[in-house]
Amino acid sequence: MQLGFVGTGTMGNPMARCLIEAGHQLTVHDLRREATSNLCDLGARWADTPHATAQASEVVFTSLPGPAEVERAMVDPSTGILAGLKAGGACIDMTTNAPSVVRRIAEACRARGVEFLDAPVSGRPPGMTIMVGGQATTFARYHPLLEAMGRNIFYVGETGAGCIAKLVTQYLGYTNFVTSLEGLLIAAKAGIDLGILAQIVPVSAGASRTFDNIPRSVLSGEFTAGGTLDIVAKDLHLACELAREVGAPAHTGSIADDVMKRAQAQGWGQRGFPIAARVLEAMAGVELRAAGLKHEGGYQEKDPRRG
């Protein structure tokens, strides 16, 4: 199939590579042409604009930083995807986006006879999770393309439902991160050895996959796990906006949102998101560090001979 991919950065690039490896012909565009070079080496064709990408494609995928970037790439009258995609084609947005924005884009697609799915992702291809919103018939038609990139593929419901599911999972993960840090700060201020606590939590009531990353990303002082602070802050803010739109309580999210914004104000936006721990450390007047951690990540039990 003739496919297009707009946005070949950290997430888009490996997804596009999966589509090439599945045997599809791919036309690619990114604001940074160098972000497409490895894909072109594999046989993809470069296009100067999203419009040109769409002209060469039956289906166009987008994986972009956020709602504003997706809307611009889709509907710009001179350079946008919809200006170049033929009726009967399809757009699949894999960005973590705002439900209101994808609904607006889906309406613009329908007006031009183009199908649309919102399909944000979690994890890394080819084993990632894909959450899909849109018409069930459209989902069924393009399910094989999604299978080339992900292992766990869920049809969530109407347009915007995929984005809602993704934002909820982001809300759960990053509020859990901030809550876990607060718990560790309580322990540090009360004099508990954080290295020992890091072994207790995974086998007790506080266990979570989010906490499991904290020893190597925060207690080590490296702050290197996961996506950038800017991306995480964007996702969490969108989740909090969604909560306000639907009238759901999001008190913990408001706190986490504030922590992320404070960290961005320090100029840490392109650092790994765990750098936000330094905001809470400053508030508490204590650093969250533990001895006996491997540099490459993971907890290493102390040698009892060294005390």
Q: Which residues are catalytic?
A: 166
**Could you give the C-alpha distances from 235 to 72, 225, 252, in angstroms and in order?**
19, 16, 15
DSSP string across 49-111: SHHHHHHT-SEEEE--SSHHHHHHHHH-TTTSHHHHSPTT-EEEE-S---HHHHHHHHHHHHH
**First-last CA distance in the chain:** 63
**Rounded Cα distance, 41 and 164, in Å:** 36
Pairing type for strands 150-157 and 90-93 reads unpaired
CA distance 158 to 146: 17
